[in-house]
Amino acid sequence: MADTTEKAFAKLNISLDVTGRRPDGYHDMCMVMQSVTLCDDVSVSLRQDGAVHAGTNLRYLPCDDRNIAVKAARAFFAAAGLKNAGADIGIRKRVPVCAGMGGGSADGAAVLRALNRLCGKPFTLPELEALGATLGSDIPFCVAGGTVLATGRGEILSPLPDFPDCRFVIAKPRFSVSTPVLFRKLDQSPIRCHPDTNGIVASIRAGELSGVCRRMYNVFEDALPPKPDDVAVLKAKLLDCGALGAMMTGTGSAVFGVFDSQRTAERARAVLAESCGEVFLARPRRRLEL
């Protein structure tokens, strides 16, 4: 087999906490992360000349070594000791860019999975996750996804039981948020409120969707600059439409609501689409196996 296609599933933060600053300049994180059915399609074919090329359906995305998918391919070949191996990578983007949904990280993780299959599975799942950690903090999670408690920089993963059945309505406003700016703001002032991560984990283990939704929280929401169509407005709209809970994912700017009914979720998507740039309906995804 010389080519294959992988789904690169987006992620949502069910909770996001920053617990400290590390000596290496990174931050200690504590997050419950969930992969969802919204995804990019990543096709990979092998080359024998050592070149790595990428292409996407979005013209403004870089396709050279700045693209995380290209970096992932080069890292895989180096780790596997394949000196003359190369790859052609095609990415059909659906996951919104600069949304806090790990779209680029999911693409990089999909490349690692694809190459692992094409090259005879030289790496185990934990080894692929460790390789992903050298490329970005979200890539280890995106290798297998599912429902996970992530700590450290986000690379220490503790899989949880499957997320309770639900629907996610995800709204990506027209503005984006600078991740470095938000981290600097958190460093400059104490965090006022932290999510009840233990309570969320307990509710997931008990299969209690309402218990999860009551406790969802993202510490970065307190560091956001005001915007005309800001996160608080989108959260309020989702809650007004019947969401059990709503919050921003990652460092934004996407906001999602959790619904226990397909019909209610579809109505909410229609309402949000009237005022928001991109709106998606998705379901939780289980953890992948190699």
Q: How far apart are alpha carbons 266 and 12 in whole angstroms?
A: 19
User: Active-site residue 138, yes or no?
Assistant: yes
User: How much is the pTM?
Assistant: 0.94
**Residue 4 · residue 120 · CB < 8 Å:** no
Q: Comparing C-alpha atoms, which of 267, 14, 260, 269 is closest to residue 150?
A: 14
Question: Residue 73: its pLDDT value, please?
Answer: 98
Residue type, 96: P
Rounded to 10°, the helix 103-118/125-133 angle is 140
Q: Comparing C-alpha atoms, which of 276, 237, 278 is closest to residue 259?
A: 237
Question: Residue 285: its pLDDT value, please?
Answer: 98
In whole angstroms, what separates CA 171 from the centre of its chain? 14
Residue type, 157: L
Q: How far apart are alpha carbons 121 and 249 in whole angstroms?
A: 32
Tokens 């992620």 found at: 11
Q: How far apart are alpha carbons 195 and 205 in whole angstroms?
A: 17
Domains defined for the chain, CATH in brackets: 3-159 (3.30.230.10), 167-282 (3.30.70.890)
| Per annotation, catalytic residue among 138, 172, 235, 237 | 138
User: Active-site residue 7, yes or no?
Assistant: no
Question: Residue 184: its pLDDT value, please?
Answer: 86
Tens digits of residue pLDDT in 179-199: 888 888 888 888 888 999 999
Tens digits of residue pLDDT in 25-46: 788 999 999 999 999 999 999 9
The segments of the chain whose pLDDT lies below 50 read: none
Q: How far apart are alpha carbons 167 and 281 in whole angstroms?
A: 7
Q: How far apart are alpha carbons 131 and 75 in whole angstroms?
A: 8
User: At a CB cut-off of 8 Å and minimum separation 6, what does 73 contact?
Assistant: 44, 52, 86, 87, 89, 111, 115
Question: Residue 107: its pLDDT value, please?
Answer: 98
Question: Residue 108: its pLDDT value, please?
Answer: 98
In whole angstroms, what separates CA 147 from the centre of its chain? 12
Structure tokens at 150: 């992530």
**Residue 264 · residue 241 · CB < 8 Å:** yes
Q: How far apart are alpha carbons 218 and 216 in whole angstroms?
A: 7
Rounded to 10°, the helix 125-133/68-80 angle is 120
User: At a CB cut-off of 8 Å and minimum separation 6, what does 31 contact?
Assistant: 13, 14, 15, 16, 17, 149, 150, 151, 154
Structure tokens at 69: 């998918």
